[in-house]
Amino acid sequence: MTISRRQLLGGAALGLGGAAVGVGATSAVAASTAAPAPAQGRETEPFFGRHQSGIQTPAQAYAAFAAYDLGSDATRETVGRLMRLLSDDAARLTQGEPALADLDHELSMSPARLTITFGFGPNFFNIIGRPDQRPASCAPLPAFRIDALQQEWSGGDLLIQVCGDDPMSVSHARRMLWKDSRFLATQRWLQKGFLDARGSQDTGATPRNLMGQVDGTVNPKTMEQFDSRVWSDGSPQWFDGGTMLAVRRIAMNLDTWDAVSRADRENTIGRRLSDGAPLTGSTEFDAPDLAKVDARGVPVISDFAHIRRAHTGGGAPFLRRGYNYDQGVTAKGTSDAGHIFTAYAADLTKQFLPVQQTLADQDLLNIWTTPIGSAVFALPPGASEGGWVGQGLLE
């Protein structure tokens, strides 16, 4: 049966028990171990599963984070209709198939590991009339003394995160999902970022930010670590298998950073720039020896170095999956560049906030960085084939 866009937007599709979702994705057959690898650009990441893709997925080269405000006519029913529509198109696009009403089929044929991930902001739960179902840490972050937040980069009711190894596929998918959403939502902000191009670094290498630092060394690596640090264990029940996300837009003063010597840069971070190893270690993944002092009795890793502040800030480890941004120069002729910092955690209050507070208090890196945007979202668990993201909350 072919389901029209009009049916999906109207009430008729609601009675089909989710049959329309995954029409495109179900045609993707799992390849046998003997099958040749897909051509570059044709690789796919799964859409359906216990967890949403784009979180534990190895980071792709490009990302677009788009936040939307829901309109005054949004209800639990209309938002559920929207999420069903978005899930259907996301399932198609991630498998290299066009969205339901996409006339530019060719732009969907090379997904390049495209992932599409959805999140709900704090006010989302009030809009759908279920404030009691908001996860405990789904709330705006408290004000930190280093913040200079701008509304144009903060807040939002609905997040659509699109990541992939091809900027064309990311751009096209984002546009298709925006077209799905505009009957009920307006875009609040859009943040586009990048990492190293695919193939320019060793597979699995820790990405670097625009200051030259490796970023994400202490990320979880195993399934057990993701289960304990990232995925919710079911509080509230519909959130089982989901995660919390904090998005922080951090402006970097690269012009003054350029004037800092390499040795001072390494002392600021507490790691060598060449390989990311702590100043007390020999490889990137060595644990820093915070008690080690030099011949003068001075700590090798400064009391205010970023790595020391992060390690002694309390809380528990979480996943960082950030991206760089570069908007050129401002009207004043200064660099407009920085980092889209993302923290994925089972509980932001217990894991992320203690670390962030310690960094805000006494981190040398604060001399060159300023948070200008902040938003928090609850990312629901994944959907099974025939279902849609957010179904456990919205039905």
Which residue from 71, 72, 67, 75 is spatially nearest to 14, judged by alpha carbons? 75
Matching residue, tokens 């670097």 = 208
Torsion of CA 119, 124, 128, 132, to 10 degrees: 100
Return d(Cα 150, Cα 171) in angstroms, integer: 25
Angle, in degrees to the nearest 10, between helices 76-94 and 167-181: 160
Could you tell me how many helices (H) and strands (E) the chain has, helices first?
10, 9
In angstroms, what CA-CA distances link 56 with 203, 319, 389, 392, 393?
A: 16, 9, 17, 21, 22
Q: What is the DSSP letter of 271?
A: B
Size of the chain in residues:
395
C-alpha–C-alpha distance, residues 176 and 102, integer Å: 7
Please identify which of the residues 89, 102, 165, 215 carries the catalytic annotation: 215
Reference 24, options 75, 114, 77, 89; nearest CA is: 89
Whether 132 is a known active-site residue: answer no
Neighbours of 219 (CB within 10 A): 18
* Sign of the torsion formed by the C-alpha atoms of 344, 348, 351 and 357: positive
Residue 160 β-bridge partners: 66, 118
Q: Beta strands of the chain (E only): which ranges?
A: 62-70, 115-120, 158-164, 185-194, 243-252, 319-320, 323-329, 335-345, 369-379
CB atoms within 10 A of CB 251: 22
Give catalytic residues, as residue numbers: 215
